[in-house]
């Protein structure tokens, strides 16, 4: 593996990504307030094995060791997220200096090693008091988010120049407020669509605040998780089902952010569920502010067929109940998450973005990776050839997309460490570094060494 060169642009950046609740632990330390994920993970039956982020990878205390690992890996950039409840324990009001001091230390340690921080401001750990006041269903949360972003930018903006406002608003809104699989675990129609809108509004308000303070020094973008979507057949009902799937997984987010509009299909599809009463004049100018980059998270494509709605009455449906289901063929390779493996799907997705949005800014792949059933062998090594192959093929798909004219500037592997995989708890391992949760020992997997080589080889080739 890795013998044939990856034809990526010379200045292409390589990185790794994590998120606060998934790795930090130390949930009661230094004034941190509770987040919706603390509440959710402590609710019986919500997370596999009742796992919580209470300790996670103990990164709060071991960040120096983790930064040293990244330095050894040789990445250009590290995508981390800030825990809002560390910075504003109640979701509003004055900053908690001890929380900010932690991120100061992390950012300084990264810069000392020549690693550029890419900071996500919201990776799902909403302060619980804000959820109690309505959460993302209410507009006030977007305003509170903008205030928090201003605090973060003031504290770190002298050193952080790449900001990602929100991570995967699809998951926060649809998994959080429609399917109930993620915190806060609600199952709603209009509430979930309002949540999606307020997340995007919060994103736009955050862009304004960062630009006001940082002028040109900062690059600002949002990260969306997107899928190439197709129908299993040419049957009219399957094609219509694929249109609805595309709406929910992509267009509901890409259209407001990249084109400042909601698609007509959103209005017709959700007519019985919502009157779009949460949409105010001027909002779409804010959600659609031009960005310095778009972050794209890709894991797998969506192939759908028409299926019965879960609920008969259109007005009582949850926002995800759109009369389709995903199909995976029995002979398709799947990851430990059950997700199908399709590297070319990343190329197709990037092409779709490029062809659909003339205003598409440069793209960073801000997450890509796979879960494997990793085990520590008797010799102490963790050999993960399936992950290496997955990462290599996806990097090749990025190279193919750039050859087709899509401006992709970098790639962040998900994830540096095995970590708390949300509703799956610690059962699913995505890291290129294995974490023994009993001892907190870190063991770089073979994919770590592979990625190290890829980065080194790319640099050499670019320099020659
Ligand atoms: C994404 C999340 C990330 C991680 C990966 C596997 O949806 O952004 O935190 O859990 O999936």
Please report, for the chain, the start and end positions of each structural domain, with discontinuous segments joined by +. Answer: 13-463
Mutate which of 416, 419, 422 for ligand 1? The one with the most ligand atoms within 8 Å of its CB, which is 422
**Could you tell me which of 18, 157, 164, 143 has the C-alpha nearest to residue 88?**
143
Residue of the CA atom closest to atom 2 of ligand 1: 168
The pLDDT of residue 5: 78
Write the pLDDT tens digit of every residue in 361-418. Answer: 999 999 999 999 999 999 999 999 999 999 999 999 999 999 999 999 999 999 999 9
**Cα(38)–Cα(52) distance, integer angstroms:** 7
End-to-end CA distance of the chain: 22
Q: What is the mean pLDDT of residues 270-280?
A: 98
User: Catalytic residue positions?
Assistant: 168, 367
**Contact 245/203 with Cβ under 8 angstroms?**
no
Work out the burial of residue 373: count CB atoms within 10 Å of its CB; fewer than 13 is exposed, 13-18 middle, 19 or more buried: exposed
Cα–ligand 1 centroid distance for 298 (angstroms): 10
8 A C-beta contact, residue 164 and residue 119: yes
pLDDT at residue number 92:
98
Using one digit for the tens of pLDDT, what is the confidence trace for 345-355?
Answer: 999 999 999 99
* Helical segments of 404-445, H only: none
Q: d(Cα 352, Cα 264) in Å, to the nearest integer?
A: 19
Pairing relationship of beta strands 441-444 and 433-436 according to DSSP bridges: antiparallel
- CA 425 to ligand 1 center in whole angstroms: 12
Residues whose CB is less than 8 angstroms from the CB of residue 83 and which lie 6 or more positions away in sequence, other chains included: 20, 21, 24, 32, 35, 99, 125
Find the 223 Cα to ligand 1 centroid distance in Å: 11
Q: How far is CA 2 from CA 331, 346, 415, 432, 464, in A?
A: 26, 19, 20, 16, 18
Cα separation, 171 vs 239, in Å, equals 24
pLDDT at 217 over 90: no
Distance of CA 281 from the midpoint of ligand 1 (Å): 33
- The number of the ligand 1 atom at minimal distance from the alpha carbon of 369 is 6
The CATH class of the 13-463 domain is alpha beta
Average pLDDT over residues 22-51: 98
Residue in the block written with tokens 């001091």: 101
Residue 402 pairs with which residues in a beta bridge? Answer: none
Reported pTM: 0.98
Does residue 1 carry a pLDDT above 70? no
Q: What is the pLDDT of residue 214?
A: 74
Instruction: Give the tens place of pLDDT for each residue, 142-199.
Output: 999 999 999 999 999 999 999 999 999 999 999 999 999 999 999 999 999 999 999 9
Output the ligand 1 site: residues, CB below 6 A: 19, 22, 167-168, 171, 225, 297, 367, 414, 421-422, 430
């Amino acid at each position: 593996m890795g013998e044939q060169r990856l034809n990526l642009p010379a200045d292409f950046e390589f990185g790794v990504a994590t998120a606060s609740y998934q790795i930090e632990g130390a949930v009661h330390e230094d004034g941190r307030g509770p987040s919706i994920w603390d509440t959710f993970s402590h609710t019986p039956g919500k997370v596999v094995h009742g796992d919580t982020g209470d300790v996670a990878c103990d990164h709060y205390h071991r960040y120096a060791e983790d930064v040293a690992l990244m330095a050894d890996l040789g990445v250009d950039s590290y995508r981390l997220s800030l825990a809002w409840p560390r910075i504003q324990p109640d979701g509003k009001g004055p900053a908690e200096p001890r929380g900010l001091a932690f991120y100061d230390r992390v950012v300084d340690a990264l810069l000392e090693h020549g690693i550029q921080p890419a900071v996500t401001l919201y990776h799902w750990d909403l302060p619980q008091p804000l959820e109690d006041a309505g959460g993302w269903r209410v507009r006030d949360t977007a305003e509170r988010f903008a205030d928090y972003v201003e605090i973060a930018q003031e504290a770190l903006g002298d050193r952080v120049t790449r900001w990602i406002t929100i991570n995967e608003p699809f998951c926060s809104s649809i998994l959080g407020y429609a399917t109930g699989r993620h915190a806060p675990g609600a199952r709603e129609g209009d509430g979930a669509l309002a949540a999606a809108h307020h997340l995007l509004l919060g994103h736009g308000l955050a862009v304004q605040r960062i630009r006001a303070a940082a002028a040109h020094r900062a690059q600002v973008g949002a990260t969306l998780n997107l899928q190439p979507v197709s129908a299993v057949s040419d049957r009219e009902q399957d094609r219509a089902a694929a249109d609805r799937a595309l709406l929910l997984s992509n267009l509901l987010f890409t259209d407001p952010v990249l084109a400042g509009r909601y698609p007509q299909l959103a209005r017709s599809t959700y007519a019985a569920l919502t009157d779009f009463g949460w949409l105010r004049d001027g909002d779409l100018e804010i959600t659609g502010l031009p960005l310095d980059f778009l972050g794209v998270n890709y894991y797998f494509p969506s192939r759908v067929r028409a299926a019965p709605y879960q609920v008969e009455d259109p007005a009582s449906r949850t926002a995800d109940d759109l009369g389709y289901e995903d199909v995976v063929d029995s002979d398709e390779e799947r990851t430990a998450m059950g997700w199908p493996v399709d590297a070319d799907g990343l190329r197709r997705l990037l092409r779709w973005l490029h062809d659909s949005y003339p205003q598409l800014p440069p793209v960073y792949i801000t997450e890509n990776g796979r879960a494997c059933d990793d085990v520590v062998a008797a010799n102490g090594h963790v050999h993960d050839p399936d992950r290496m192959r997955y990462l290599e093929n996806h990097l090749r798909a990025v190279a193919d997309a750039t050859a087709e004219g899509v401006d992709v500037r970098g790639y962040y592997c998900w994830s540096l460490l095995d970590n708390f995989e949300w509703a799956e708890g610690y059962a699913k391992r995505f890291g290129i570094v294995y974490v023994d949760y009993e001892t907190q020992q870190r063991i770089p997997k073979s994919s770590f060494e592979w990625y190290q080589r890829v980065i080194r080889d790319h640099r050499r080739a670019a320099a020659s």
